[in-house]
Chains A and B, each alone.
Chain A
Amino acid sequence: MAPDTDSVWRVLGTVPDPEIPVLSVLDLGIVRHVRWEASAAGRLELHVGITPTYSGCPATEVIRHDVCRALDAAGFADAVIDEVLAPAWSSDWLTEAGRNKLLAFGIAPPERAVSHPRHLLGAPAPVPCPRCGSHATQRVSEFGSTPCKAHYRCTACLEPFDYFKCF
């Protein structure tokens, strides 16, 4: 009988993103499946599907390693990590809890869904400052300290901040 997957999901909820440690890999929406499958040798194997945020994100390999280690420590040895490419990750998959954690951490969460018409037309989103809430902010650069973030500044409280890109 296949063991349950709930406890596996609970373990995954404790694995932080290495670059934004307030987020778990579940908050980030990169875990695509958890299931038990029979291996060629007939043994039950735990498969965890993970999708990269950006194809060159260096955190992907660290995450894979961290997930294996956490599962191992919880008694799920030899989990198989499946790399899932399709459908491609989207910032829409951030959970509501994840968005709140980002904001509390000082990173502005993505402003809207990628399917939003204004986003599709390439109009820049007004990004409120995660510290003072002012909408008087400017984009300094489309690229920030990690592939998933852009660099902004607030002209009201004068603080710089990161914006988690709508992608």
Chain B
Amino acid sequence: MNAPEAAPDEQVHAALFQYLLRLGDTSLVLGQRLGEWVGHAPALEEDLGLANLSLDLIGQARLFLTYAGEIEGKCRDEDALAFLRDAPDFANLTLAEQPNGDFGRTIVRQCLLDAWQLELYEALQASADARLASIAVKALKETRYHFHYSCGWLVRLGDGTSESHARVEQALEDLWRFTDELFAADEVDERLGRKGLAPGLADLQPRWSMRIDAVLGEAKLRRPAPSPYPWHGKRGVHTEHLGHMLSEMQHLQRTYPGARW
């Protein structure tokens, strides 16, 4: 992170709004995916575990989206942003929206994203934006628990039976192609980076790789080959899965706008 400069200009303001949407949407979409497991997980403890992760992620999403709405200044609160935007307006990472699949696939997705959030929030604690920094401090504590959980399961499954190993191996192979996007900075990231508001995404990659390689090694899994195809979920270009997920997540507010209980 560079040293903070003068007061943010309009472009920085707009970039900060986008940036907050990206963080908020990634947490929200991932939290919603985990919530789909409630009542379906392989054991009661994992049902509770995934629900707890989901709750933390949705709580973090609320903090990011509330702040995004205030920065935008168009009277959109967390609910308006979560429930009344269409898929192309969502700025989550493509990896977060990938379907749950089996428990192993959910764990692989979780582990890759937990490690990323861990590095990101760690760095964001030093953001020149005090509110963003305080959300990061809070989220970081929770993310440590999440990563511990997902690593624990990845090792048990990867170093488990031949069946569990084959399943997480395949999931890792399928999901790995979405990991490039985690570290691909665009002008939003760069603009905030120059103001000391956000870390350089590429700077997070070495430590992320170290964490992931360590857990893959313990789980007897091999790191897949890099994929050349770029994904742009954070720019609103999504896989087909997000729309289906949103149609369920947003159903009530779309059908009965402003419904409260």
Contacts and interface: CB of A to CB of B under 8 A. Distances in A.
A20 to B, nearest CB: 16
Interface string B190-212: 00000000000000000000000
B49 interface: yes
Main secondary structure of the interface of A (DSSP, over half): loop
Q: Which bucket holds chain B's interface residue count?
A: 20 to 34
Contacts of A167: 141, 145
Among B56, B60, B138: residue with most chain A CB under 10 A: B138
B55 A54 contact: yes
Interface in A46-98: 52, 54-58, 85-88
Interface in B25-83: 31, 45-46, 48-49, 51-60, 62-63
Given A122-B148, A142-B149, A55 B134 contact: no
Main secondary structure of the interface of B (DSSP, over half): helix
A145 B59 contact: no
B49 A141 contact: yes
B57 A56 contact: yes
B131 A142 contact: no
Contacts of A143: 45, 48-49, 51-53, 149
Q: Which bucket holds chain A's interface residue count?
A: 20 to 34
A55 B51 CA distance: 14
A56 B129 CA distance: 22
B122 interface: no
A113 to B, nearest CB: 14
A142 B56 contact: no
B145 A55 contact: no
21 contacts: A52-B59, A52-B138, A54-B142, A55-B59, A55-B63, A55-B135, A56-B56, A56-B57, A56-B58, A56-B60, A57-B59, A85-B131, A87-B137, A88-B137, A88-B141, A140-B45, A141-B45, A142-B148, A142-B149, A143-B45, A147-B52
3 shortest interchain CB distances as A-B pairs: A56-B59, A55-B59, A86-B134
Interface of B: 31, 45-46, 48-49, 51-60, 62-63, 130-131, 133-135, 137-139, 141-142, 145, 148-149
